[in-house]
Structures are given as C-alpha cells and as structure tokens.
C-alpha cells in the first residue's frame, strides 16, 4: 500500500507531499482507497464532499469506525493521515488472517481536508459530516486563488451533501503517527490519547501604505511589515515563557515587490494551550503587543478568529479499556484530529499513536520505523477486535 | 493619451497597476506606443528585447533621446514611467505646434523591465541596451514561476537581441514624476536631477526546519520566520538611525502553511544610501545582526547581492544648462532610473522631475496634478529645443 501512495503529490525538490484536497494527487489517493477497499470486498460509500467509508460486515448500526485522512499540509510528510488509513486496511487483513469475524460492523473511513491546507478550516470533512460546521458556512470559504469551496467541489462533480453514515457509528478509533517525542521518552512503540489541547487559528491583517522603498523617508512610512515582524517575535516569546505554542507559519504580503513598502501584510497565528483560558490569554497578550506596535507604525490591525477548537478530552473509560490490557501509555496531544471533532460530536472516540523517532511532523522529514508501524497495525487490530466484540 | 493608458493592467480592487514586462497589459502598452508614434509619422524601431524608439527627423546620429518606461511595479501608480513617455510624445506635439524643426534628430524611447518587477534586475532593458548587463547573464534570470527570461521572450516572439540605436544618441533626457516631496517643499512644479543614490538589492535566505506548529516545543524549533522578523526590524532601525533607506517588501515562505513551522523564509532587502561606503556599512550592520539572530534560532542565513548600483552623478554642466534659464532646482533622487544606466554608460544624461503632492510612489495613490504635468511637458519641450539645437 505504501508503494502505491508514496509517489502521489510528492515534490521532487523537497521530498515532501502536496496533497491538497480536491486536487489531482489527493483525488488519486481517494481513488486508491476505493480500489483497495473494493479489492477486499468492502462496500464503499462516498458523500458529496469526498469523505469515504468502506464497510466490513453487514448492518450499518453500532459500528466501530477507524481510519484517518489522505490529504497533507503543504510540503508535508508521508505518514500524517495515510498511516491511519493504511493501518486500518492492514488491520482488517490481520483480523481476517486470524479468522476473526466481527459481531459489530467495522468501517474504514477517510475524511477530506483534515489539514485545512486549502480552505483554512482544519477537519473540514469531519466537521461537515458531524454538523459541527454547516454547509452554509463552509460553502463560501475560499482557497488562496479565491475559489469558493462550493465551486471547487462542483469542479470535482461533488454537490456538497454530507454522508449519513456516522448515524450508525458507535465508536471511532483513529491511529496516527505521534507528532512529538512522548513515546520516544517512554520507550514505547504505541500509545493511547487522553486529550487534545485547545487550538486556535487567527488571521492578523496589518494595513499600511504602499510606497517607494528608495524615496520614502523611514519616518514617513506606514510599513505593515514592521508591525508584523514585531508580532511574530512577540508571539514566540509569549508562548515560550508560558509553555504554550504560537506560530506564524503563513504570510501573504501585498504587493510583495522588492522596491515597494508593502500596503498589506496578512499573517496567520496558530496557537495552542493547555486550557481554553490559557489560549485566550495567549491570544490577548499577542494581540495587545501587535496593536501597540501598529499604533507606533501608523498601521492598522484586524484580528479574525478563523477557527477555535476547545479542549477535547477523549472518553477516559474507552482509553483505559484499550490501553490497560497492553499497558500502553495514555498521553495528550497538541495536534487537532478528526477524532477530536467526532469526540466533540458525542461519538465515543479513542486514538492510537505510533512512535515518531524525531517528533518531526508536517515536514518531509516526518518518519516512523517500519517495526513501529507494524506494531501499530497489530495494536489497531487488537483494538478493533476488542471493540467490535467478535470472537478471536 | 492618458485615456488610452489608464485601463491597461489596472486592478479593479486596488486601483493599482500590474504591468509586468512581457505580459498582456505591458504588451498592450507597447502596442499603444507604436500606434502613437506612427500616428505622428515617427519611424519606430524595436529590438529583440521589447525596447522601443521612435525617431523625429532624419539621420540617426548626434540625437537627443527622451522617454522612459511603460512597465510598473506590482500594484504601482499610473505616473511612474508612462508620464515620461506621454510627456515625450506631447513635447513633440508642442514643438511642432511652435513650428520647431530640430537640427539634431529627436528620439522618443520606452525601455522594458525598468522596475525589475518580474526578473528581479531593475533597468533590465537599458542595462542590456547599453551592455551594462550581458545577455549571457540575463537570459537565465527567472521570474517567480521559474520561467527563464530567454523563454519568456521567446513566448513573445522576441529573440533577445539588443537595439543599436544608442550609438546615435548624444544626450538623454528622462522626465519622471518625483518620488519624494522636495519639489513640494520648494514650491516648484519642475526640477532637474543632480544624482541617484547608490542602491542594492540583497536576497536573504533563512533556512530552518519544517515542523508541526502544535506539537513541537518552542525550544525544539529552528524557525526561520523568527530570524527574518528580527532582521526586518533591525534593517528598519539601522536605516532610521543613519538617515539611509532599508526595506523588506518581499517575502516568500515555504511551505507557508498555517500549522507548520516554516522550513525556509526568503526575503529581499532594498537598501539605498548617500554613498557606496554608507551602503556597504548599512548592509554589513543588517547582515551581522541577522547572522547573530540566526545563530540563536538554530537557522542558517545566506545573503546574495542580486544587484548593486553605485552612485550616479548626472552631467553637472548639462543639468546647469537645462536648469539655469528657468531657475529650476537641482535635486538628488533615491530611486533608480534608466537615466542612471545610460549616464553610467557614458551618455550625457539629465532628468526632469514633476512635482508629486504627497511624495507617494510605487503605490496606487501616486499622483501628480494636471497643471504640473503640463508644466512638465512644456519644460521637456523647452529642453529638447535647447538640446536639439533647432530654431524656435
């Protein structure tokens, strides 16, 4: 399965992946999923968004759903998302090899636009599927080229309607490569998630005045680049001091010419904190410093919350039931996942993590050892067997 | 003439101009120039770069060349470049209206890619025309999409060969909207240039390590955005303190995703100073601070000089000859011009400036009053009459 997936959307220069949703590489990845599921005799359902699910067993109620996503961040790694999908299909193979027959149906799913790399809203597919985000809100979201989600979907022959299969799902288990080094520190190949930190994405729009870079005296400028630069440094310092996370990883400059003072700088703050209160405080501290600097620079600043997710505490009884027989550690994560969206929507949800030797993620350097990936498949197969209640 | 030019490459949202060389709007502007010249019975010559010249009078030696450029920065103003071309054609009309017959030929020219907005090298057309830049160097320059100059020209049916008409030019006079407020402070509609400040464009490549914006501890990051942000602030402060100019107006971030620590930030420093020594000192100060910060951030920095122009002192006798009869002020400029390239190549050169009420330039808000523009046309006509030595 990795051999099929590895070339899709891979950049020859960086070695990273560009699998933005509803583009050719991600479309191929979804076609690959359908092919793999059908080759296993699983019944595939698609919705009008591009979400996919494949059923093992008859009946569509009280099911155990597993899987993850196939899209990537810009220049991302090979494992984030696909490891969960590949492991889910491999776990079905393992269980069948054991002669296992599930009593409750097992479903393998792939959610679209988990990373929010194209339309800015993470977990878009699962948010629409659960109703956490309405179609009215989502359809007018625009990508970097200004194309509305509704039109991007129409170009793919998709009508925006959401699947109804979550109605029949009793439990969701998502396997994911770890995005930190907790499992390395604990010397474990597999762990179970306790919770996801609160997470916000905020757009900072700094507006100044375009001008000539040579002739305009420094003191006559209203340069939004300076306001932005101070804000990026302030966000880093604030997060470092408080033990939280704050990142400016995306910046758009207008007109972005070497010899022009910019008129606008738009930058996105990704912030995560141990509690919603701490997240609000972090944003408030960064915004206050940004506004003060904008005042000194003669620029203006508007901050827009593009998405804010509260803390997700996964079902503790479920996590314990999965972890205890194997003594897997139960650890928190700072990364958002479709599992968080389903959990918030009331679906009892668990996550399995596979060790990441460097902790590097959202990067071409993201990696997991084959032995750990295989341990993950076995762990997922055991978990599915436990939850789908069949005989083993 | 303004009515024809105003819609070409104008952004409906900003009101600014996007006339990048060898794109549709700039191609239309060049076609307009040919049409206008031919309508006046001027003989048009083109070269294999897109440079244009139109001749008034017979003979191709000892000529007085005037004109400017038709391309713009990204989201630029209406006047920068076109005012010099329009005024040149209008000055021909004025002189003919006066019944003037030049003894020496008068030529009206339009140079391509003066702003360097597409291939990064300002005054590319005049540099190639004078031989200041060789075709071997230029043909491999690439635009933001990675297209080589040679291929961009081939797409336009241009072979990259340069015109030879400068061989017959004895004097060049470029009229330009002022890009500062010297003439406002002096309460004058028209001025004459003394010199152009030295100017450098330097590419700062900061390399770090892409990583997950949520899971990577602040202290484990190698974030090039931070190194860049400190550098942008340091450049501003350094220029402000020393009375020079330093601008970071263009930034490219990779992968430029909200939830990823960037792997690379590339930013361009535009620096100008009153002397070459001061320019070198300014760059050295900025680079030292940038390297120090990169060291602290665990990132690396490479600085590449993309273009460095020494000071251009225009022919002082020529400036005095033009200015004195009218008592026009003689003032320096911090902006580069084709006039600087021709002057450096040994062509006796002068510049006329037209008052800019706000000093704003390289911006949709750039402006000049109609009365001042007409004063500029009259001044240019008088100057051409003086230099072409005809009877008036």
Q: Is A332 exposed, middle or buried (0-12, 13-18, 19+ CB in 10 A)?
A: middle
Query: What ranges in chain B are assigned the alpha helix state H?
Result: 2-5, 24-39, 82-97, 124-130, 135-138, 149-155, 182-186, 224-242, 276-297, 316-323, 338-344, 370-388
Query: What ranges in A98-251 are assigned the alpha helix state H?
Result: 124-130, 135-138, 149-155, 182-186, 224-242
Do the beta carbons of residue A305 and residue A198 sit within 8 Å? Answer: no
Confirm or reject contact between B176 and chain A (CB < 8 A).
Answer: no
B282-311 pLDDT tens trace: 999 999 999 999 999 999 999 999 989 889
pLDDT at A325: 96
A249-264 pLDDT tens trace: 999 999 999 989 999 9
Average pLDDT of the residues of chain B:
95
Listed residue (B168, B154, B177) closest to B375, CA to CA: B177
A176-187 pLDDT tens trace: 999 988 999 999
Cβ contacts (< 8 Å) between B14 and chain A: which residues? 254, 263
Do the beta carbons of residue A175 and residue A354 sit within 8 Å? Answer: yes
Do the beta carbons of residue A17 and residue A72 sit within 8 Å? Answer: yes
Share of chain A above pLDDT 70, in %: 99
Q: Is A10 exposed, middle or buried (0-12, 13-18, 19+ CB in 10 A)?
A: middle
B186-234 pLDDT tens trace: 999 999 999 999 999 999 999 999 998 998 989 999 999 999 999 999 9
Residues 6+ apart with CB under 8 A from B331: B182, B183, B186, B191, B192, B193, B194, B353
How far does the CA of residue B143 sit from the closest CA of chain A (Å)? 12
Q: What is the CATH number of domain A2-196+311-388?
A: 3.40.630.10
Residues 6+ apart with CB under 8 A from A339: A172, A174, A176, A193, A196, A312, A314, A349, A350, A351
pLDDT-derived band at A389 (thresholds 50, 70, 90) equals confident
Domain borders along chain B are 2-197+311-388, 199-309
Annotated binding site of A for Zn(2+): 69, 80, 115, 176, 362
Question: Which residue of chain B has the CA closest to A115?
Answer: B259
ipTM of the predicted structure?
0.78
Do the beta carbons of residue A282 and residue A239 sit within 8 Å? Answer: yes
Question: Which residue of chain B has the CA closest to A182?
Answer: B215
How far does the CA of residue A227 sit from the closest CA of chain B (Å)? 9
How far does the CA of residue A356 sit from the closest CA of chain B (Å)? 12
Phi, psi of B218 (to 5 degrees): -55, -40
Question: Which residue of chain B has the CA closest to A229?
Answer: B229
Q: Report whether B201 belongs to an annotated binding site.
A: yes
Given the candidates 3.20.20.150, 3.30.420.40, 3.40.720.10, 3.30.70.360, the CATH classification of the domain at A199-309 is 3.30.70.360
Q: What number is the average pLDDT over the span B123-144?
A: 96
Q: How far apart are CA B39 and CA B34, in angstroms?
A: 8
Confirm or reject contact between B375 and chain A (CB < 8 A).
Answer: no
Confirm or reject contact between A345 and chain B (CB < 8 A).
Answer: no
Secondary structure letter of residue A385 according to DSSP: H
pLDDT at B392: 44
Annotated binding site of A for allantoate: 201, 259, 272
In order of A229, A364, B147, B202, B208, the CA distances from B226 in angstroms are: 8, 21, 30, 19, 10
Residues 6+ apart with CB under 8 A from B36: B1, B4, B89
Q: What is the CATH number of domain B2-197+311-388?
A: 3.40.630.10
């Amino acid at each position: 399965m990795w051999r099929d997936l590895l070339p899709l959307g891979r950049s020859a220069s960086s070695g990273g992946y560009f699998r933005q949703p509803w583009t050719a590489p991600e479309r191929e990845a979804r076609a690959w999923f359908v092919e793999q599921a059908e080759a296993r005799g699983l019944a595939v359902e698609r919705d009008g968004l591009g979400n996919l699910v494949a059923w093992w067993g008859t009946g569509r109620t009280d099911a155990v759903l597993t899987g993850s996503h196939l899209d990537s961040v810009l220049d991302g790694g090979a494992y984030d998302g696909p490891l969960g999908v590949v492991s889910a299909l491999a776990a079905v193979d393992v269980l069948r090899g054991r002669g296992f027959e599930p009593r409750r149906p097992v479903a393998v799913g792939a959610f679209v636009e988990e990373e929010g790399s194209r339309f800015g809203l993470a977990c878009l597919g699962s948010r629409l599927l659960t109703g956490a985000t309405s179609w009215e809100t989502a359809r007018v979201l625009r990508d970097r080229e200004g194309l509305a989600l509704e039109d991007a979907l129409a170009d793919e022959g998709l009508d925006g309607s959401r699947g109804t299969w979550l109605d029949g799902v009793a439990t969701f288990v998502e396997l994911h490569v770890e995005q930190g080094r907790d499992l390395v520190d604990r010397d474990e190949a597999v762990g179970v998630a306790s919770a996801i930190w609160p997470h916000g994405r905020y757009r900072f729009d700094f507006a100044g005045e375009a001008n000539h870079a040579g002739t305009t005296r420094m003191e006559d400028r209203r340069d939004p680049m300076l306001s932005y630069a101070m804000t990026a440094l302030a966000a880093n310092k604030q997060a470092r001091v408080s033990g939280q996370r704050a990142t400016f990883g995306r910046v758009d400059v207008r007109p972005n010419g070497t010899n022009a003072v910019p008129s606008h700088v738009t930058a996105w703050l990704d912030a995560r904190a141990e509690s919603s209160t701490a997240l609000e405080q972090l944003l408030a501290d960064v915004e206050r410093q940004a506004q003060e600097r904008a005042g000194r620079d003669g620029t203006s600043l508007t901050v827009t919350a593009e998405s804010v997710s509260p803390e997700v505490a996964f079902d503790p009884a479920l996590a314990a039931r999965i972890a205890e027989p194997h003594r897997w550690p139960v650890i928190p994560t700072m990364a958002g996942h479709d599992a968080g969206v389903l959990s918030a929507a009331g679906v009892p949800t668990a996550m399995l993590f596979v060790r990441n030797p460097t902790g590097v993620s959202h990067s071409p350097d993201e990696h997991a050892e084959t032995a750990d990936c295989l341990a993950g498949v076995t762990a997922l197969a055991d978990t599915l067997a436990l939850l789908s209640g069949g005989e083993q």
